[in-house]
Chains A and B, each alone.
Chain A
Amino acid sequence: MRDDFLTTIKENERIIYKLVRIYAEQYDDQQDLYQEIIYQLWKSFNTFQGKSKISTWIYRVALNTSLAHINLRKKHSGEVSIHDIELQIEDKIDTQIEDKIAKMYQQIRRLNEIDRAIIFLSLEGKDYEEMATITGFTASNVGTRLNRIKQKLKTRLIKE
């Protein structure tokens, strides 16, 4: 079972990677959250019954764990800047793009818990139905929220 699990994680590691950066700002905190997500996935791996796609299950567990993480933890007082983190964890191929990616994560992190989850799933290319399955909100509510988030982001981006 462990091999199956490891293979599943390897196949879907990008989901966790992006989510970790959306919910945790500091590098140490990102690592902790990553561990928590892996642990939660492992804990429930044998109860996954294949009723939904494995990626849907991963999205759900990872999003819930991230939400629990920010609710159970005190805010991390970071000693390392966001820019430093980018340099630590990304290959320094193109600093300009890295910088933009860092800013993008920063913008998303400024959203509230629900908006963060919805924009993440939208960027991942999920349709309203799947987003509704993962989040528990209705599909129409997800659509309304998504439009509002886009407007919010646009206003912020114009201001900056």
Chain B
Amino acid sequence: MELEEIKSLWDDVNQKPAIKEFFSRQNISYMTQLNYNKQANTFRVAEIIGLVVAYALAGLILYKFNMLDTWYLSICGIIVVMYLLLMPLYTITGIIRMRKIDLAKSSYKEVMEHFYSVKSRLKQAENVSLIASPFLFVFSMAILAKIFMDIDFFTLTFQLPIVLLIVLAFTGAILFNIWAFKKRGKQLQSVKQLLEEGN
């Protein structure tokens, strides 16, 4: 297919009769009655569930906070609670910001820049989560073990193979997250480059 052929095919599309399913007057009229469920203003179920679960867990830890009776367990508790309260909020506000753009008044370039800036912010949050997740997992285990079983996770004695397995899994998780971190960075970088070429 040559470029000239693309142009000629484009002209062919212009000659074709309109598509009934897309362009019936009745359908358009229906849409203007604001009856259709605007997806852009609704959150995904996963986002809501994530927020509810995080806040419920934070509430539980705060409610049982007096059970975290050593300094290190208290610090674990504070870190996990802060993470559970702040991170979903940061993400949700980012998503709200992402959807707040006047598509009728902005130019294509402005829309792209808007998405790039919000996505950068969301990627930052994801990157923090990626790096923090192995540590948060350990902290959460310690907190939950204390709250539900009254066991101090950090004073438990494990056999050597189990310790090695934990260290291996922990290191693996960190390495995987660093790899994912770099990959995400590259995706955003390509959009940034595209925009810079326009300046």
Interface Cβ pair total, 8 Å cutoff? 145
B19 lies within 8 A of A89 (CB):
yes
Q: How many residues from B make CB contacts under 8 Å with A?
A: 48
A67 lies within 8 A of B12 (CB):
no
A interface, over-half SS: helix
B22 lies within 8 A of A20 (CB):
yes
B31 lies within 8 A of A136 (CB):
no
B104 lies within 8 A of A71 (CB):
no
Tell me, yes or no, whether A13 is within 8 Å of chain B by CB: yes
- A13-51 CB mask vs B (1 if < 8 Å, else 0) is 110111010000000001110111011101110011000
B194 lies within 8 A of A112 (CB):
yes
Tell me, yes or no, whether A109 is within 8 Å of chain B by CB: no
Tell me, yes or no, whether B186 is within 8 Å of chain A by CB: no
Please judge, given known A-B contacts A68-B103, A100-B5, A104-B1, whether A9 and B28 are in contact too, CB under 8 Å: yes
B interface, over-half SS: helix
- B24-44 CB mask vs A (1 if < 8 Å, else 0) is 010011011010101110000
- In the assembled complex, how far is the CB of residue A141 from the closest CB belonging to chain B, in whole angstroms? 5
Quick one: which of A128-160 are within 8 Å of B by CB?
134-138, 141, 145, 150, 153-154, 157, 160
Q: How many residues from A make CB contacts under 8 Å with B?
A: 62
A102 to B, closest residue via Cβ: B9
A residues near B99, Cβ cutoff 8 Å: 72
Instruction: From B22, B101, B107, give the contact of A17 (CB < 8 A).
Output: B22
A6 lies within 8 A of B29 (CB):
yes
Bound form: Cα–Cα A67–B102 in Å: 13
- In the assembled complex, how far is the CB of residue B123 from the closest CB belonging to chain A, in whole angstroms? 13
B21 to A, closest residue via Cβ: A89
A153 lies within 8 A of B22 (CB):
no
22 contacts between A and B (CB under 8 A): A6-B25, A20-B22, A31-B21, A35-B31, A39-B34, A40-B104, A60-B108, A63-B108, A68-B115, A89-B19, A97-B12, A100-B1, A101-B12, A114-B198, A117-B108, A134-B108, A135-B108, A135-B109, A136-B109, A137-B109, A137-B198, A141-B197
Which 5 A-B pairs rank lowest in CB-CB distance, beginning with the nearest?
A: A136-B107, A44-B104, A136-B109, A64-B103, A135-B108
